Amino acid sequence: MGAADRLSDLLDEVASGRRVPYLGAGVAAMAGGDQPASPEALCAAIEARVRAPKRAAGNLWSVAQYVEGRRFRRTLDAIVQEAFAARPEPGPLHRWIAQVRPPLVVDAWYDGALLDAAGAEGKGDWGLVQGVSRHGEWSEIWTRAYDAAGNLIGEEPDPTWQMLIYKPHGLIREGHAYLISDNDYVEVLTEIDIQSPIPEEVQARRTGRPFLFLGCRFDDQMLRTFARQIAKRSAPGHAAVIEGMLTRMETRFLEELGIERLDLPLAGLAEALATTA
């Protein structure tokens, strides 16, 4: 079986609810628009406003921490909110997922295109649960959940939702929270191995289902850690669409998790989606 046919089969499994799609920043890049669509692009947008020291330059989490520490959180918030102010139209993968509505979608970038696509379907039986920073929080909180209308319903999602969108790094949009600086992540990374920051409903819906990683790169330790822990205790048989050369750490990560790699351009998804029921 060729890689393109294999991708079509994997997407069929997503559509039938047997496999969990895990979307990285590359999916936002495929959709186009003026928002940053990679950690490097968002880091560059921040560094264009605040010059970071050489030891931090080029690393999103470290640059965000530098700005937060030297210019305060409100300055960092203003920069990233401006970077994500444009709201480009959802891409073909966003629209397709909103139509087939699998039980669980992990959306590991900061944009809201998938939410816009789901909202455009006009169905109310879905919702969002997102990671939140504890910056300025007095309670021990990891997540907040919102229904399809955007109403905050609490810390945990509704188990009756047909589709649950999980944004572990949060959402950069007015009225929402996100994790981006080293300080944001320190407590999460301390607890994530025992799964405390991952909502129980996410853990329940991943059970018995392998993942399909789309638009993800694993050349950053933070991204590998989150992917590893979110996929923990799910079913074996993960797959990823990653074109071109892999770094040494990416190769090791794919081997560690037993991820089947399809060396295909993400743009080829459009053709695969056309043949998917």
pLDDT at residue 277 in the model: 53
Q: Is the dihedral of CA 54, 57, 62, 68 positive or negative?
A: positive
Residues 96 and 75 grouped into a single domain: no
pLDDT on residue 271 = 75
The pLDDT, as a whole number, for residue 31 is 85
Q: Are residues 75 and 193 in the same domain?
A: no
pLDDT greater at residue 133 or residue 231: 231
144 and 73 within one domain: no
Q: Among 83, 113, 142, where does a domain finish?
A: 83
pLDDT in tens, 211-265: 999 999 999 999 999 999 999 999 999 999 999 999 999 999 999 999 999 999 9
CATH number at residue 238: 3.40.50.1220
Chosen domain end from 58, 83, 108: 83
Does one domain contain both 210 and 180? yes
Q: How many domains does the chain have?
A: 2
Residues 42 and 20 in one domain: no
Dist CA 239 CA 190 (whole Å): 27
Nearest-CA neighbor of 205 among 20, 48, 6, 55?
20
Q: Range of 48's domain? A: 36-83
Domain boundary among 83, 114, 144: 83
Same domain flag for 52 and 165: no
Q: Residues 225-237, buried b or exposed e (16+ Cβ, 10 A)?
A: bbbebbbeebeee
Q: Are residues 21 and 79 in the same domain?
A: no
Cβ neighbourhood burial of 213 (10 Å; 0-12, 13-18, 19+): buried
pLDDT at position 138 is 60
The answer on 151 and 77 residing in a single domain is no
Same-domain status, 216 and 154? yes
**pLDDT over 70 percentage in the chain:** 97
Q: DSSP string of the chain? A: --HHHHHHHHHHHHHTTSSEEEE-HHHHHHH-SSS--SHHHHHHHHHTTSPPPTTTTT-HHHHHHHHHHHH-HHHHHHHHHHHT---PPP-HHHHHHHHH--SEEEE-SS--HHHHHHHHTT--SEEEEEE---TT--S---EEEEETT--EEESS--TT-SEEEEETTB--STT--B--SHHHHHHHHHHGGGTTTS-HHHHHHHTT--EEEES----SHHHHHHHHHHSTTS-S--EEE--SPPPHHHHHHHHHHTPEEE---GGGHHHHHHT--
Same domain as 172, residue 131: yes
Note if the pTM is more than 0.85. yes
Per-residue model confidence (pLDDT) at position 51: 94
Q: Are residues 65 and 145 in the same domain?
A: no
Does residue 137 sit in the same domain as residue 77?
A: no
